[in-house]
Structure 1
Amino acid sequence: MREAPNIAVVVMDTARDRDVTATTAPTISTLGDAGTRFTRAFSAAPWTLPSHGSLFTGLYPSKHGAYSGHEYLGDAHPTLPELLGEAGYETVGITNNTWVTPESGFDGFDTLRKAWQLLPGEGNMLWEMVQVQDEESAQGVFRRALSGNPVRNLINAAYAKYLYGRRDSGAERTTGWIDDWLAGRSDDRPFFLFANYIEPHLEYDPPREYAEQFLDDEVSYYEAAALEQDPWEYLVGNVNHAREEFAILRDLYQAEIAHLDAQIDRLREALIDAGEWDDTILVVVGDHGENLGDHGMMDHQYCLYDTLLHVPLVVHGPGFEDGGEVDDLVSLVDLAPTLLDAAGAEAPAAREEFQGRSLHPDTGAEPPEQVYAEYLHPQPTMDALKRQVGELPEYVYRFDRSLRAVRTPEYKFVRGSDGNRELYHVAEDSAERSSLVNERPDIAADLEERLDSWLDSFEHAETSDEVEISGARRDQLEELGYLQ
C-alpha cells in the first residue's frame, strides 16, 4: 500500500438519509458494514452550492460565502483539491451539477470534467444551443458557436440534445469515464477523485427497470412518469398532489437512489480492476436531502428540516475498517479535516480556519455538542418565483427570509430573519411536527445563545460583489429548478 491512500468522494446529490437503506442501496449498506457509517451526519446547508462549498472548504456558508445572492465560491479559502494537490495528490473530478463547476468557483483540480460535455471545453455553450426557442436567439448562439472551437461546440450540443440524459441523468457515463480514467492512468501519485452524481435530483426519472422495482403493482411506469414534478407550481397551489401521488414520487425517488447505488458498485469494481481498491478511502455522502410533500413542500429550499439536512455518510478504506455505526453529531464541514488527516497533509493555515473537526479514528477528537446549518438567502427569490408561476399567494411570502439552525442530539433550534423561532425535540419528534419554543423557553433560549455565540466567533465572508450568471448557464440551472 502507498504511504498515502487514494481518496474518492462520491456525492449523491439530493440523497436524504432516510431513503438510503439496505433495500434501496445495498452497495452503500455493504460499504458501511465493512467501513464506518455515520448515522447522524448533517449538511451545513439545504442545497447544492453552499453545501458543496462547506464540503470543499471545511467552513459554514457564512464564512465561505457561496450561497444564493452570491453564487460563487471565492478564493479566500483553499479547497480540498487544492490542499491535496499541494500534498502531492493527482486531483480529478467529474460533475453532473452545473453549480459544482469553475463558473461557481469550484476549481483547483488537475482535471475537472463536466459530464454533460462529450468533449471537454469551457462554458455552457452546449446548453445554450439546445435551449434556443426563436430565430433571433438561434442566430446569436450560432455566431458564438463558430467562435473558439466550433467543431467541439457542435459535437457537445449534439451529445447534450440526443444522448446525455437519454437513459439516466449522466450516472452511467460518469462511471464509465471514471473506469476509463482509472484503467488508463500512469501517474504514480495517490489520487483524489471527486464525483457528483445528480440522481436523485428532480426530476425523478429513473431507468424503467429500476422504477418498476419500486412502484406498486397497480401503478404503471407510464402513469408514474406522467406525474407533475414542478415543485414551484406545487408550492403556490397550482398543482395538488394527494398522499397516493407523493407515494409514487417517493417510489421514483428511491428508484433513482437504487440506480445510483448500482453505479457506486460499478465504481467499486473499477477500483478493484485497477488494483486501487485496497489503497483507497471511499466516501459516499449526500450533499443535502429532499422534501417529497414533507412539511407541505417539494424540492430542497426554504427550510432547515432534517428531511433536507440529515444525509447519508459512509467511509470505507484504510483507517475506517470495521468502524461500525457512529452516532456522534457530524457535519459536512468535518470532511475536509478528516481527509487531510487521512492523507497525512499538514496544511496548517487551512486547519487554523476549519470550522469542522476530523473524524479520522487516529485523532480521537471529541464529538461536538452541536452542529449548525444555514440558509442565507431564498432560492428562488420571490421575484424569480413570480416570474415562473405568476402571482404568488400571500402565504408564500413567509419564505422570503434567511434561516439558521443549531442542533444537538436532543433538540434543534431554528431562527428566521423575520423573527420566527422554532424548537423541535428531535430525539422524540424526528419528523419535526411540533414546535416547543413556547413550552420549553429555557431550552430555546440556551440554544439561541449558543447560535449567537457561534456567529460571533468568526469573520463572515464579504459578499457585496454581484455575481453574474450567463444566459446559457441560467437556462441550465433553471432546468434543475434553480430559478434566477
Structure 2
Amino acid sequence: MTGLPNIVLVVMDTACWDVVSNDQEAAQEINQLSNQSTTFSTCITSAPWTLPSHASLFTSCTPSRTGTHAGNKQLGTELKTLPKILSNMGYETVAVSNNTWISEEFGFDRGFETFRKNWQYVQSDVDIGEIARREDGIDKYIEVGKRLLDGNPLVNTANAVYGQFFRKRQDDGAKRTNEWISEWLTGRNTDQPFFLFINYLEPHLEYRPSRAYAERFLPDDTSYTEAMEVNQNAWDYIAGNVEMSDHDFEILQALYRAEVAYLDERIGELRCLLEESGDWDDTIFVVMGDHGENIGDYELMDHQYCLYDTLLHVPLIVHGEPFTGGQEIDDPVQLTDIAPTLFDATGIEAPEFREQAQGRSFHPDADTEPREYTFAEYMAPQPSMDALEKRVGDLPEEVYKYDRSLRAIRSTEWKYIRGSDGSEELYHVAEDPGETENLIDTEPEKASELEEELDTWLQSFEHADADGDVSMREETKDRLEDLGYLQ
C-alpha cells in the first residue's frame, strides 16, 4: 500500500431507501454492514434517474450544472470527474457497469483505466445481441450475418449468443461482476491503491428474481408463475392501456424485494472478496442508491415524471476510517457530497474539482456546516411524450401533465416542488413522509420562503449550455428500451 486507502463505490441501481435500510429480511448483509459503518438516513439524489444522477455523483454538480439530462444525454468534458482526479493521483481506476447509460457512449469512461461493460461476454465496441430481439424469421439471420462482419466476427458471435440466451438466466450481472472482480483482485498490482466503481442493476425493472428468492416474499396466495405474469410495462400502465390492482402492485413489491435480497447477498460476497484479498481494512466502502422507484406510488411505475421521495431518498452507507462504529447521521446529505468527502478521506486536495463542486464534504473532520437544504432536478421528461406516443399509441389527456421539467428544494421539515408548467407542490415531509397532502394553498408563506431559497440557489452557479441530444448507436437504443427507457 502507498498510504492512500482503496475506494469501492457501489451503486445499487434503483434502490429505494425504505427497502434497503428498513427491510431486515431483504437486506440482511447491508444492515449488518450498516451496524459497523456510518449510515446517512437522509441522503437525497440530485435527479430521479440513472444518467443525470451518476453525472452528479462523478462531478459533484447538479444537472443544471452538468447539462446531463433527457435533453442532452451526455456527460461532457468541461467538468473534472472523480475517477479522473483519482487516476491522476496514482489510483488504478476500474469500473464495472451493468447499466447501458453508464458507458463510454455517454461519457462515463473518462478517468477509468479499465471500463467493463458487463452486458457483453467479450468487451467490444460492436454489439449485435439486440438483433435477436428486434428481428424475426429470415430477417434476423440476414441482419446477424451482416453485423458479424463488423469488427471481429468471433467476438460478435459470442456477445450475441450470450446476450440472447445466457445473460438473464442467472441475474442482471451481479454474479458475473463479482466473478470478474475476484479474478481482478487476484491479479492486480497490490502496490497501487485502487478505485473500483460498480453499478449493480438487479432492482431495476423488469423484476425477474429466481423462484427461490421470489417465494420468500410473495403473498401466500400467489405462485411464482402467477407473479411472473403481472404487468411490468410501466408505460402501458401510465398510458392507461392496462389496469392494475393493489394486489398486482403487492406482487411487484415482493418481486422488487426479492431482487434487492439477491443483490444484498452479492454485496456481502463482494465484501468477502475484499477481505480474502487483504484489502478490506484499507478500503473506504460506499454502498448507495442512485435513485428510487415507484411501484404504483402516485399512480406511477418506474422512476420518471416526479420528484417525490420514493425516487429521491436513497440509501447511503460508508465503511472505513473514519466511518466505522455503527452511527447513524440524520443531517441531510446529497450524492454530490460523496466525491468531496472521498477526497477528504484520502487527503487529496483536488483544488480545481473542489472549485467546481456544488457538494460539500460530510467527512467528520471537514470544516463544513450541515446542509439546511437539498436540491433535485428533473430537467426534461424521460421518456418524452413523443417517445411515449410512439410506443403505446394515443395518450389520455391527463398524461400530458408530465410534459414538464421539475425542481425541488427539501429541508428536514418541508419540500417544495416547482414545475415549468407553473405547478407548485408543498409537503410537510416531517409529518407527511408519503407526500400525500399538497399544502400549497394553506401554507403560502412557507411555499414563498422555499421558492425564494430555490431561486437563490439557482442563481448561485453557472448553468451548462448543453441542450442537444447525443447520437447513440441503434443497439444502444434497443438495450435502453429493454430497461424501459424509451428514446
Tell me which interval the TM-score lies in, with the shorter structure as reference length.
over 0.9
Alignment partner, residue 479 of structure 1? 482
How far apart, in 1, do the equivalents of 2:444 and 2:369 lie?
A: 28
Counterpart of 1:73?
75
Paired position in structure 2 for 1:42: 44
**What's the counterpart of residue 105 of structure 1?**
107
Scaled by the length of structure 1, what TM-score is found? 0.98
Match of 1:342 among 342, 345, 365: 345
Map of 1:89-168 to 2, 5 A cutoff? 89-107=91-109, 108-128=111-131, 130-133=133-136, 135=138, 139-168=142-171
1:146-295 to 2 correspondences below 5 Å:
146-295=149-298
Q: Deviations over 1:150-193 (max 9, x none)?
A: 11111111111111111211111111111111122124211000
- What does residue 394 of structure 2 align with? 391
Q: Is the 8 A contact 2:409 2:417 kept in 1?
A: yes
Give, as a single letter, the amino acid of the residue that structure 1 aligns with 2:48.
P
- 1:364, 1:205 → 2: CA distance? 45
Cα shift readout 1:122-171 (whole Å, capped 9, x = no counterpart) = 14333345533465575345323212211111111111111111121111
Deviation at 1:471, TM superposition (A): 1.2
Give the match's secondary structure for 2:167.
Answer: coil
Q: Would you say 1:16 and 2:16 are equivalent positions?
A: yes
What's 2:442 paired with?
A: 439
Query: What is the one-letter code of the residue matched to 1:66?
Result: T
Find 1:459's aligned residue among 459, 462, 470. 462
Structure 2 contact 2–191 (Cα < 8 Å) conserved:
no
Distance 1:465 1:227 in 2: 37
Please tell me the residue identity of whatever aligns with 2:19.
Answer: D
How far apart in 1 are the matches of 2:365 and 2:279?
Answer: 23
Three-state SS of the structure 2 residue aligned to 1:333 is helix
SS in structure 2 at match of 1:163 = helix
- CA–CA separation in structure 2 for the residues paired with 1:175 and 1:299: 26
Whole-Å separation in 2 of the counterparts to 1:126 and 1:114: 13
Residue 216 of structure 1 aligns to which amino acid in structure 2?
A: P
Amino acid at match of 1:348: P
Query: For the residues of structure 2 that align with 1:136 and 1:210, how far apart are their CA atoms?
Result: 38
The code of the aligned residue for 2:430 comes to A
User: Where do residues 370-409 of structure 1 align in structure 2 (5 Å cutoff)?
Assistant: 370-409=373-412
Mapping of residues 294-313 of structure 1, within 5 Å: 294-313=297-316
Question: What is the identity, as a one-letter code, of the residue corresponding to 1:377?
Answer: A
- TM-score for the superposition, normalised by structure 2: 0.97
Alpha-carbon separation, structure 2, partners of 1:241 and 1:356: 40
Letter in 1 for 2:388: L
Root-mean-square deviation (CA), in Å?
Answer: 1.3
SS in 1 for 2:450: helix
Deviations 1:322-343 (A, max 9, x none): 1500001011001111111122
One-letter code aligned to 1:14: T
Q: Secondary structure at the match of 1:303?
A: coil
Q: Secondary structure at the match of 1:315?
A: strand
Question: Deviations 1:342-370 (Å, cap 9, x if unpaired)?
Answer: 22211101101100001111214211110
Residues 262-309 of structure 1: per-residue CA shift (max 9 Å, x gap)? 000110010011110111111000000000111111100000000000
Deviates more, 1:429-438 or 1:334-343: 334-343
Residues 1:249 and 1:466: Cα distance change in structure 2 (over 3 Å): closer
- The percentage of aligned residue pairs carrying the same residue is 53
Letter of the 1:362 counterpart: D
Letter in 1 for 2:262: H
Q: Which amino acid aligns with 1:360?
A: H
Find the aligned partners of 1:369 and 1:318 in 2 and give their Cα distance: 26
The 3 A distance-change label for structure 1 pair 366 and 197 is same
Mapped to 2, the partners of 1:423 and 1:435 lie a distance apart of 5
Q: 1:221-269 CA deviation, whole Å, 9 max, x = no partner?
A: 1111111110011101111111111111100000100000000011001
Counterpart residue type for residue 101 of structure 1? S
- Letter of the 2:304 partner, please give it: Q
SS of 2:323's equivalent? coil
CA distance in 2, matches of 1:478, 1:328: 37
Q: Does 1:426 align with 2:426?
A: no
Match of 2:63 in 1: 61
One-letter amino acid of the counterpart of residue 5, structure 1 = P
Comparing 183-192 with 251-260, greater Cα deviation is found at: 183-192
Are 1:5 and 1:318, in contact at CA under 8 Å, matched by a contact in 2?
A: no
- The amino acid that maps onto 2:61 is L
Structure 1 residues 110, 129: closer, same or farther in 2, change over 3 A? farther
> How far apart in 1 are the matches of 2:48 and 2:197?
20
The Cα of 1:448 is off from its aligned counterpart by: 0.3
Gaps of 5+ in 2: none
User: Aligned partner of 1:259: which letter?
Assistant: Y
User: Which of 37-46 and 17-26 deviates more?
Assistant: 17-26
For 2:320 and 2:129, how far apart are their aligned partners in 1?
Answer: 38
Say which SS state the counterpart of residue 417 (structure 2) adopts: strand
Looking at structure 2, the residues matched to 130 and 111 of structure 1 have their Cα atoms a distance apart, in angstroms, of 29
Q: Which residue in 1 is equivalent to 2:33?
A: 31
Distance 2:366 2:93 in 1: 25
SS class of match (1:214): coil
Q: Distance in 1 between matches of 2:280 and 2:158?
A: 35
